Structure formats: C-alpha cells, structure tokens
Amino acid sequence: MPEILENISLKNFNTFGVEAKARWFADINKEDDLINLFSDPKWMSTERLIVGGGSNMLFTQDFDGLVIRVNIKGITQIEDGDDVYVTAGGGEVWNNLVNYCVDRDFAGMENLSLIPGSVGASPVQNIGAYGVELKDVFFSCRAYMIETGAILSFSNTDCKFDYRDSIFKKELKGKVIITAVTYKLSKKPSLNITYGAIAAELQNREIEAPTIKDISTVVSAIRVSKLPDPSTIGNAGSFFKNPVVSKDTFERIQSVFPDTVHYCLPNNTVKLAAGWLIEQCGWKGKKIGQAGTWKNQALVLVNYGNASGLDIYDISEKIILDVKDKFGVLLEREVNVI
C-alpha cells in the first residue's frame, strides 16, 4: 500500500508554483501501488486528481480529495532493425527521456526537447512543438483502469489524438492512470526542420547537415530565449490553445487586421496564433500584482513571485474577454483549472 500523506502542500507539485493543499496525497512508484490503493473502497469513492509533473495545471483552490502522483521510473528499449521501441515509466521527467534518446541517436523526439512535464502526461494532451506532436512518435501506453482494476494497452489510434487533445482528456478523463509509454523512434533520422525558427537558428550557427543532437540543442535554445524557465518563474507553457476558426471568420478578421498571424488548415479552417491575438490586446509582458504574461510570449501566463492561482485565473478571464471583444474569437484554456 502506498503511504497516504495528509494536508500536503502542492506548491512543489505544480510548475506555476502556487499554493494549494491536498487533503490526501499518494506517491505511486509501481503499478502494484495502484492495485493496492484501489483495493480499499475508501479510496475508490474519494474524489481524486492525477498529477505527473504538474506542468499543465492551475490550482485555484485546495483539493479536498486524493492527489495521486505518478512517480514510476525506468527507461528500456528494444531495437528492431532501424526501429527502436523505447518504453519509459509514467513518472519519468519528459526531458530526461528526450536526452536519453538524443544521446543514443534515437530520432523522433528531438523537436520536443525541454517541454516540461512527465512521460505519463505526454499522451494526455498530445504535447507538441516545432512541427512535431507526440502522436508522431507514440506507439502505445499501459493504463490502469481505475474502475475495473484492469491494465490495458492503448495503441496510437485508440488514443484519438488531436491538437493538444486525446481520449484521456475526453471520455476517459479521470478514469485511467498511465503507468508507462512506448515510443517508436528510428535510428535512421528524417529530421523535421520545416519550422522557420529552427531553420533560422541552424543558419545562424552555420550548421548545414544537422544531427539529432543539433536539433535538440537548437530547439532548447529557441525555447530558452522565448519561454520562462518554470524552475525560476512559475508557468505552465502556453496557457491557451491556438484557436481554429472557419475561413469566413478568418477573412472577417483579416479584413480589419491584415497582419493576422495564421496557418491554413484543411476543411476550410484556419488556426490563429493566440499569442499574437493576446499581444494585440496589449497584454504582452503585462503584470497585475504578481501575475502576468511573459515578456517574450504573451500566450504564457506567469507567476512572478507569490501570485495565487486565482490571481492567474483572473488574468486569463480578462484576456479571454479582451480577445473576444477585439476579434470575436473565444480562447480556450489548454491548462487544467482545478
């Protein structure tokens, strides 16, 4: 049975670094811990919250239930010709896994370098950056089904991946705990350098034939230059999703704001850059008390010191209203608000 702690501060378990208390807290180090935990009917019927690295969560209040922190470690791999299947425990730190793969020349994850969070959370919101999404390298995951106690395997298609979305955020929300993830990588890299900022940074460094390690280094440098480091300034990466609108809506916006940053998608839809919309509303680098937006990326909300979760939430509400007023577009939060 895992140890159950009481009245635990969650400040170190969320990358915003805001204060909130958990009524109960359990650290899960192996799958058996889950089986033992839920064999007690008390925990089966208690409200619960599953956390990994706490990098996609905003606590606006104490949590009067059981917080389950997945801390299952371990990385192994099986090689099959040019393919490599790397399996990592759900509690591994995502970037440690990326480094493990980059150091061994296993290609596929290098564009996802330095994303905060854990392996177990990576499929939940289909993390993505610089032209690559988790779904591009995801092979399968093991998941403990809380209600039945079964451990099931989910394939890539089972997960119903979409932009920052999966089955684990929809019909299976709160019902499963991902204990391990297997990624399919390659020893024969086909590097993805289509993203403008990567190509520009490679040129800056005069790198003509980039290696996997070069891509990882360049992506990390771009992230460091644009995004605040959660270990010193509390944040959860992009706070909102980039909104997808119809072509008609886009044309209406573009007729008033010709410079609207956008990417055309299939099916007559257009993705808008939420960071640009927010900046146009005057929010870039703005601070109210100890909460605000980042000076180099308006899409990132930050805790400049001792902001509360509610301070940050209030700013997000104001941003939503301003963007709606100016552009008629409704921003949707990427971060889970508790």
**Which residues contribute to the site for ligand EPU (CB under 6 A)?**
129-130, 226, 237-238, 241-242, 261, 273, 275-276, 279, 284, 297-299, 334
Q: Of 46 and 296, which has the nearer Cβ to ligand EPU?
A: 296
Q: Nearest distance from residue 284's CB to ligand EPU, in Å? A: 5
Q: Nearest distance from residue 205's CB to ligand EPU, in Å? A: 19
3-state secondary structure of 66: strand
Q: Nearest distance from residue 182's CB to ligand EPU, in Å? A: 23
* Strands 48-51 vs 63-70: parallel, antiparallel or unpaired: parallel
* Strands 287-288 vs 151-155: parallel, antiparallel or unpaired: unpaired
Q: What are phi and psi of 214, to 5 degrees?
A: -60, -45
Cα separation values, 83 from 261, 312, 334, Å: 37, 44, 32
C-alpha closest to that of 106 among 130, 139, 127, 77: 77
C-alpha to C-alpha distance for 192 and 44, rounded to whole angstroms? 44
Q: Of 43 and 138, which has the nearer Cβ to ligand EPU?
A: 138
C-alpha closest to that of 200 among 130, 152, 104: 130
Q: Are 279 and 298 in contact (CB under 8 A)?
A: yes
C-alpha closest to that of 202 among 211, 158, 258, 174: 211
Q: Of 282 and 305, which has the nearer Cβ to ligand EPU?
A: 282
Q: Nearest distance from residue 312's CB to ligand EPU, in Å? A: 15
Q: Of 136 and 279, which has the nearer Cβ to ligand EPU?
A: 279
Q: Nearest distance from residue 20's CB to ligand EPU, in Å? A: 21
* Catalytic residue set: 164, 238, 334
Q: Of 159 and 298, which has the nearer Cβ to ligand EPU?
A: 298
C-alpha to C-alpha distance for 248 and 166, rounded to whole angstroms? 27
Q: Of 216 and 297, which has the nearer Cβ to ligand EPU?
A: 297
Q: Nearest distance from residue 37's CB to ligand EPU, in Å? A: 30
Task: Provide the H-helix boundaries in the chain.
Answer: 31-38, 41-44, 94-103, 196-204, 212-226, 247-256, 274-280, 309-327
DSSP 238-296: ESBPPPEEEHHHHHHHHHH-TT--EEEETTTEEEE-HHHHHHHTT-TT-EETTEEEETT
